[in-house]
Amino acid sequence: MILAVMEHDRGKIVDASLELLTLLRSLAQPMNATVNAALMGKDAETIAPLLMEHGVTKVYLVQNERFVDYAPEAWAKGLVHLIGAVRPKAVAAAGTDRGNELMARVGANLGLAMAANCTELRPGERLGVTRLRWGGSLLEEAELIGEPKLFTVAPHVVAWEASPAREFSIKEFHPSLEEKDFRVRVVKRIESEKAGVSLPDAKVVVGGGRGVGSAEGFQRLEELARLLGGAVGGSRAATNNNWRPHSDQIGQTGVQIAPDLYIACGISGAIQHMVGCKGTKRILAINKDPEAPIFSRADYGVIGDLHEIVPALIDEIKKAKAR
């Protein structure tokens, strides 16, 4: 049996968890194994029926009266107890911040290695994995020893597909946890006040880099994004210079975007930035340096000064919209 650790926010499942199930089903088949799932946290039980649609044959509801918001030590210990009771061959979560943390804690607790952000899995006595390095600009082929095999699966590697299970059951599991297991926990959640479409959800993103030159320079990018119903982001150069808040940084150490169109203005195209837009359908690059690496990664290019091109583009779009 392979145990999938599901991630959700108060009953709303994270897409990466469904992608995980799709990949685990293809690992389970040659192993002649089933895929079971572990669910914990507030409103977790509401997800169970959906998991059957995705090929899960048994759901373990890991329960404790204090499992409301995230408490990493207690959640990891709950999983470790479940692993001890049901003996899976492998345990995996989605390669999100939370999934990576939780699986790292399980690994630390069991004294086992954990392979983070896998993209391919090859069953065997030693589990063969391919995993992301440098945010995905490089891949590593490795072998994982010990049992159970612990790993996370990188988001956006496979598209999720439903595949209903033939049988399905739900079992409650009550790990024995103490007060001290909850010493690390979320004590408060603060909703963001930021209005408008968020960077990860935007269909159009306008990004600015070193070439924008100043915080004021971003005003025209804001205007362009507004006209296109999109959001504005920046490269590491833009956020390190405090032209944009860090939460707007697109890249390996910032936000991952996946819009239909990314308009990259004055961005050279460093690996650190490009791995943040891997999910992007099309890239339009505006840069005055025809040799900039961004042009080898873009679908469309315009060579020239963004400070001339962006205002001209804004005027043209307004004209087109007025017609």
Partner 1 sequence: MNVLVCIKRVPDTGARFELTADAQEIDTRNMEYAISPHEECAVEEAIRLVEKHGGSATVLTLGSEAASEQIREALAKGVERGVLLETDGKEWDAGATAQAIVEAIRATPFDVILFGNECADAGNYQVGVRVAQQLGLPCVTGIKALEINGGMAQAKCEVAGGWEVYEVPMPAVFTVKEGINTPRHPSLRGIMAAKKKEIGRVKPTQPNVQLLKKRLKKPPERSGKVEILGQGKEAASAIVAKLKELGVIQ
Question: Please, what is the end-to-end C-alpha distance for the chain in angstroms?
Answer: 61
Q: What is the distance between the alpha carbons of residues 303 and 310, in angstroms, rounded to a whole number?
A: 12
Please report how close the Cβ of residue 207 comes to partner 1 at its closest, in angstroms.
15
Q: Which stretch binds partner 1 (CB under 8 A): 26-34, 86-94, 98-106, 214-222?
A: 98-106
| Per-residue DSSP letter, 14 | -
**Binding residues among 233-292 for partner 1 as defined by CB under 8 A:** 236, 239-240, 242, 246-247, 249, 252-254, 260-261, 268-272, 282, 284-285
Q: Among 44, 5, 34, 29, which Cα is nearest to 153's?
A: 5
Q: Which stretch binds partner 1 (CB under 8 A): 30-38, 47-55, 107-115, 205-213?
A: 107-115
**Binding residues among 35-74 for partner 1 as defined by CB under 8 A:** 69-70, 72-73
Q: Which stretch binds partner 1 (CB under 8 A): 15-23, 29-37, 54-62, 307-315?
A: 307-315
Binding positions: 210, 235-236, 249-253, 266-273, 287
Q: Among 84, 91, 62, 201, which Cα is nearest to 153's?
A: 91
Residue with tokens 């490009």: 274
257: three-class secondary structure by DSSP: coil
Q: Among 66, 71, 110, 119, which Cα is nearest to 91's?
A: 110
Please report how close the Cβ of residue 206 comes to partner 1 at its closest, in angstroms.
11
For position 148 contacting partner 1 by CB under 8 A, the verdict is no
Binding positions for FAD: 210, 235-236, 249-253, 266-273, 287
Query: Which of 2, 116, 206, 250 contacts partner 1 by CB under 8 A?
Result: 116
**What is the total count of residues that contact partner 1 (CB under 8 A)?**
93
Q: What is the distance between the alpha carbons of residues 7 and 14, in angstroms, rounded to a whole number?
A: 6
Strands 300-303 and 282-287: parallel
For position 109 contacting partner 1 by CB under 8 A, the verdict is yes
For position 315 contacting partner 1 by CB under 8 A, the verdict is yes
The 8 Å CB, 24+ separation contacts for 282-285 are none
Q: Which stretch binds partner 1 (CB under 8 A): 39-47, 48-56, 78-86, 130-138?
A: 130-138
Please check whether residue 24 is in contact with residue 157, taking contact to mean a CB–CB distance below 8 angstroms: no
For position 313 contacting partner 1 by CB under 8 A, the verdict is yes
CA pseudo-torsion sign 267, 269, 273, 274:
positive
Q: Among 120, 125, 118, which Cα is nearest to 31's?
A: 125
Q: Which stretch binds partner 1 (CB under 8 A): 41-49, 141-149, 170-178, 210-218?
A: 141-149
Q: What is the distance between the alpha carbons of residues 109 and 107, in angstroms, rounded to a whole number?
A: 5
For position 158 contacting partner 1 by CB under 8 A, the verdict is no
For position 166 contacting partner 1 by CB under 8 A, the verdict is no
Please check whether residue 284 is in contact with residue 300, taking contact to mean a CB–CB distance below 8 angstroms: yes
Query: Which of 32, 125, 167, 190 contacts partner 1 by CB under 8 A?
Result: 190
Please check whether residue 59 is in contact with residue 21, taking contact to mean a CB–CB distance below 8 angstroms: no
Residue (55 or 254) nearer to partner 1, CB:
254
For position 213 contacting partner 1 by CB under 8 A, the verdict is no
Residue (59 or 132) nearer to partner 1, CB:
132
Residue (22 or 117) nearer to partner 1, CB:
117
For position 297 contacting partner 1 by CB under 8 A, the verdict is yes
Query: Which of 3, 35, 232, 298 contacts partner 1 by CB under 8 A?
Result: 298
For position 299 contacting partner 1 by CB under 8 A, the verdict is yes
Q: Which string of DSSP letters, residue by residue, matches 57-115?
A: SEEEEE--TT-SS--HHHHHHHHHHHHHHH--SEEEEESSHHHHHHHHHHHHHHT--EE
